């Protein structure tokens, strides 16, 4: 029997649908349940074959636990190591290099810092910032938003330099980006599961959450050629980032899809939010992914420690590497005392040398 754990926050309908579907399809051979976590022993044996993570980005204890599970061979969706290292500014830079259309973006130093950081700690920072140069590069209006996070939290539309200063002063210790505004003709949010399955959703970010007006089921919302480009860009980004569950948002202007947000490894999938059609689609796609991952040979990212701990053939590789390393290592030479010096050496070992006067 294989066990699947689901790690969640406040959401209800999506995780419940996932667990129910896995248990029905698994017929006792694959069992899904909510995780229960307490004090985690560092040498505890693995309990789950696969874990779906929906909340560790907000709970450090969960994130550390998932890394420990990965060490024991548990498949974690999404990868906690990459998720921990990722940020949106890096993603924008990567997307640009991958040929995806990205609005102009500038990373800004934080306004405030944690206790203990003083002016001397920040000697590498330019001061004052060239605010006008930043505005000239990005253009106005623009969006000020955190370099990490989601859910449109702490996002402000900026129409002037004075507004930028005002909103920046409120950002506290958050590291922010300023991004070019795309006056879009169309807007889509795309689910991507397994770095392959893509669902394009007509989406209006200007509508209130849970209004029932954000998501519209319209299969013909995008022209076929544009829809194909969007799918291609979604797969390119999610494959490069290594996310098995993600959403990518595009602001589309003059038939060009600009990717404005694609770091959403725990995307909204609640029934009341996304609607029945999209809720059912993402549930089915994730359940299919779970059974696919459980049934295939592990092809997880390799880590430095992984080559030393994994079974064959990785272990054989590690042993071979260790043997090669040993062969390249120069062993300490044994110093042989000449016969005529042996008596002197023996005597020196028996009696310590006399200290000179005044020596400690």
Q: What is the mean pLDDT of the chain?
A: 86
* Pair (93, 214) in one structural domain: yes
* Distance of alpha carbon 360 from alpha carbon 82, whole angstroms: 56
Domain with 66, as residue range(s), is: 1-85+276-316
Query: What 3-state DSSP class applies to 208?
Result: coil
- For the segment 108-135, what is each residue's pLDDT rounded down to a tens digit? 999 999 899 988 899 999 989 999 999 9
β-bridge partners, 157:
143
Same domain, 96 and 144: no
126 and 206: one domain?
no
Q: Do 96 and 210 belong together in one domain? A: yes
Whether pLDDT at 325 is above 60: no
Q: pLDDT digit string (tens) for 260-277?
A: 999 999 999 999 999 999
Residue 225 lies in a domain: yes
For β-strands 30-34 and 2-7, DSSP reports them as: parallel
Q: Is 359 inside any structural domain?
A: no
Residues 93 and 202 in one domain: yes
Q: Which CA distances in Å does 132 have to 11, 109, 110?
A: 43, 15, 18
Q: Are 18 and 32 in contact (CB under 8 A)?
A: yes
Q: Which pLDDT does position 302 carry in this prediction?
A: 57
Order of strands, sheet of 75-77, starting from the edge strand that comes earlier in the sequence:
30-34, 2-7, 50-53, 75-77
Q: Classify residue 347: in a domain, yes or no.
A: no
pLDDT tens profile 21-79: 999 999 999 999 999 999 999 999 999 999 999 999 999 999 999 999 999 999 999 99
Domain identity same for 96 and 240:
yes
Q: What is the mean pLDDT of residues 323-352?
A: 41
Q: Judge whether 135 lies within some domain.
A: yes
Residues 232, 97 within the same domain: yes
What does the pLDDT read at residue 347? 42
Q: CATH no. for residue 5? A: 3.40.50.20
Query: Residue 324 falls within a domain, yes or no?
Result: no
At 166, is the secondary structure helix, strand, or coil? helix
- Both structure tokens of 154: 């702490």
Q: Are residues 254 and 200 in the same domain?
A: yes
| Of the residues 146, 180, 214, the one at which a domain ends | 180
Domain shared by 187 and 258, yes or no:
yes
Please indicate, yes or no, whether residues 257 and 193 belong to a single structural domain of this protein: yes
DSSP H or E segment with residue 327 = helix 314-328
Residues 71 and 22 in one domain: yes
Q: What is the pLDDT of residue 118?
A: 86
Split into its structural domains, the chain has a count of 3
Residues 97 and 187 in one domain: yes
Residue 339: inside a domain, yes or no?
Answer: no
* pLDDT above 90 as % of the chain: 76
The CATH number of whichever domain residue 155 belongs to comes to: 3.30.1490.20
What letter does residue 197 receive in the DSSP assignment? E
Asked whether residue 331 is domain-assigned, the answer is no
Given a contact cutoff of 8 angstroms between Cβ atoms, the answer to whether 54 and 244 are in contact is no
DSSP string across 222-239: S-HHHHHHHHHHHHHHHH
DSSP letter string, 324-355: HHHHHSPPPPPPPPPHHHHHHHHHHHHSPPPP
User: Band of the pLDDT at 352, cuts 50, 70, 90?
Assistant: very low
Average pLDDT over residues 143-171: 91
Mean pLDDT of 309-317: 44
Q: Is position 332 within any domain?
A: no
Specify the DSSP class assigned to residue 338.
P
pLDDT in the model for residue 300:
55
CATH number at residue 187: 3.30.470.20
């Amino acid at each position: 029997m294989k066990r699947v754990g689901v790690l969640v926050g406040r959401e209800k309908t999506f995780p419940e649908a996932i667990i129910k579907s896995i248990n029905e399809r698994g017929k006792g051979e694959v069992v899904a349940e909510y995780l229960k976590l307490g004090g985690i022993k560092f040498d505890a044996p693995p309990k789950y074959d696969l874990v779906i993570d929906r909340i560790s980005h907000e709970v450090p204890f969960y994130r550390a636990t998932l890394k420990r599970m990965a060490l024991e061979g548990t498949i974690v969706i999404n990868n906690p190591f990459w998720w921990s290292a990722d940020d949106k500014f890096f993603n924008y830079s990567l997307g640009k290099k991958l040929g995806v259309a990205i609005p102009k973006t500038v990373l800004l130093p934080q306004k405030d810092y944690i206790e203990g950081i003083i002016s001397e700690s920040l000697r590498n920072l330019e001061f004052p910032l060239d605010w006008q140069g930043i505005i000239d590069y990005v253009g106005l209006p623009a969006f000020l938003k955190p370099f990490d996070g989601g859910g449109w939290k702490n996002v402000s539309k900026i129409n002037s330099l004075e507004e930028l200063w005002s909103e920046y002063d409120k950002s506290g210790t958050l590291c922010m980006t300023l991004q070019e505004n795309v006056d879009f003709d169309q807007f889509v949010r795309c689910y991507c599961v397994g770095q392959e399955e893509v669902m394009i959703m007509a989406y209006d970010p200007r509508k209130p959450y849970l209004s029932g007006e954000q998501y519209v089921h319209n299969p013909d919302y995008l022209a076929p050629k544009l829809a194909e480009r969007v799918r291609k860009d979604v797969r390119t980004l999610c494959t490069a980032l290594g996310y098995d569950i993600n959403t990518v948002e595009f602001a589309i202007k003059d038939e060009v899809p600009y990717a404005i947000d694609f770091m959403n490894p725990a995307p909204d999938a609640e029934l009341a939010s996304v609607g029945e059609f999209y809720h059912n689609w993402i549930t089915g796609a994730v359940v299919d992914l779970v059974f696919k991952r459980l049934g295939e040979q592990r092809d997880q990212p390799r880590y430095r420690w992984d080559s030393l701990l994994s079974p064959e053939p990785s272990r054989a590789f590690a042993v071979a590497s260790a043997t090669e390393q040993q062969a390249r290592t120069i062993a300490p030479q044994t110093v042989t005392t000449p016969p005529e010096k042996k008596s002197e050496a023996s005597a020196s070992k028996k009696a310590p040398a006399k200290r000179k006067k005044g020596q400690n």
